Amino acid sequence: MLPLEGIVVVALEQAVATPFASRQLADLGARVIKVERDGGDFARDYDATVNGMSSHFVWLNRNKESVVLDLKSEGGRASMHQLLAKADVFLQNLAPGAAARLGFGADELRSRHPRLIIGDLSGYGSDGPYRDKKAYDLLVQCEAGLVSITGGREEPAKAGISVADIAGGMYTYTGVLTALYERERTGEGSAFEVSLLDALAEWMGFPYYYAVYGGKSPSRTGARHAAIAPYGPFRAGDGSQVFLAVQNDREWRKLCETVLEDPELADDPRFATNPDRVDHERELTAAIEVAFAELAAQDVVERLDRAQIANARMRTVQEFADHPQLAERGRWHEVDSPVGPLRTLQPPVTAPGRAPRMDPIPSIGEHTESVLAELDEDPA
């Protein structure tokens, strides 16, 4: 039995953040009824790369039932209220105020359904000067300062994945789990909200403290670390790059002695402490790459492994998909979909004796008839 079996989630959701939260609840056994507008969640049409389906939609929507309702109609709203009367959790990420205008605001729902847990996700929150500002992932990354510290020295860059959406989805997910636990103790439902800016702001803790109390923002350093050195890519003699990370002065000395085979470098005053190494990062990189110049990348990796210095190779996404660690640990699974079986990763939290839930990805409105039939049989 999965931990959330018996929990019913109604998700009036679109795009990435709330679908990410509800999918994780579904992975744990919750019944997630995804309410879509006519035409469906617009993330269905982001691309058609997965045998005709959107890569975002495939990622975020397994284990769900799709119901199409017109919430601008009286009948659609009535069906939605019947669904909510039987639900434990209601999640929504419409534009601020839109759910309330349809009759599904937190205050109204709390009065009608006292045990219901309500999670509202928005871009910037339910008040403040940015309340009604459109919020897409890149734009929130900009407002949170993330883009200013990401990229190379010459040009900023956004993160390569939707980190604001993912952060918002994660805090919505944990907010639901917290509220379910609270309801077990009090018998009462509750309402909470998450904004993408608030969520990503939490993840900006290191650069915030570094900038506000240090007097300058972390530098854009590409794949290197702004506050730790050596930490990042270094070129080997065959032209390939090896990524390594040194966390303290003890490891730095070990790197010099065992990997670089230059113990005197450890005592160079330019590199004696981590702040010194950060201040002289270009000279440090040059010294390390001189030592690597006669070695192929694989030889460097073997030396680093023997010395127990953290390292990695930069894989492409295709190489990640074929990663030997994921394959050896059986992390891949198949999930059905309207376009046939698809290979997907299992949920990251594993527990002995617990099989993952891997139910299909729904087509638009696939479950409308069956779910509404349940309401007719048991009108709440």
3-state SS, residue 214 = helix
> How large is the greatest C-alpha to C-alpha distance in the chain, in angstroms?
81
Given CA atoms 45, 48, 52, 58 in this order, what sign does their dihedral have? negative
What distance lies between CA 18 and its chain's CA centroid?
11
Inter-residue contact 22 to 342 (CB < 8 Å): no
| Residue 56 bears catalytic tag | no
Structure tokens at 38: 């006519």
Task: List residues bridging with 232 in a β-sheet.
Answer: 244
The whole-angstrom separation of Cα 180 and Cα 358 is: 23
Q: What is the dihedral of CA 90, 93, 97, 100, to 10 degrees?
A: -20
**What angle is formed at CA 291 by the lines to CA 290 and CA 295, rounded to 5 degrees?**
105
> 69 Cβ partners below 8 Å, 6+ apart?
35, 36, 37, 76, 79, 80, 368
Inter-residue contact 236 to 297 (CB < 8 Å): yes
One of 81, 225, 280, 333 is an active-site residue; which one?
A: 225
**Cα separation values, 141 from 111, 214, 314, Å:** 36, 22, 24
**Cα separation values, 132 from 72, 126, 128, Å:** 21, 8, 9
3-state SS, residue 88 = coil
The whole-angstrom separation of Cα 20 and Cα 356 is: 17
How do beta strands 31-36 and 64-68 pair?
Answer: parallel
The whole-angstrom separation of Cα 219 and Cα 221 is: 6
- Catalytic sites, residue numbers: 225
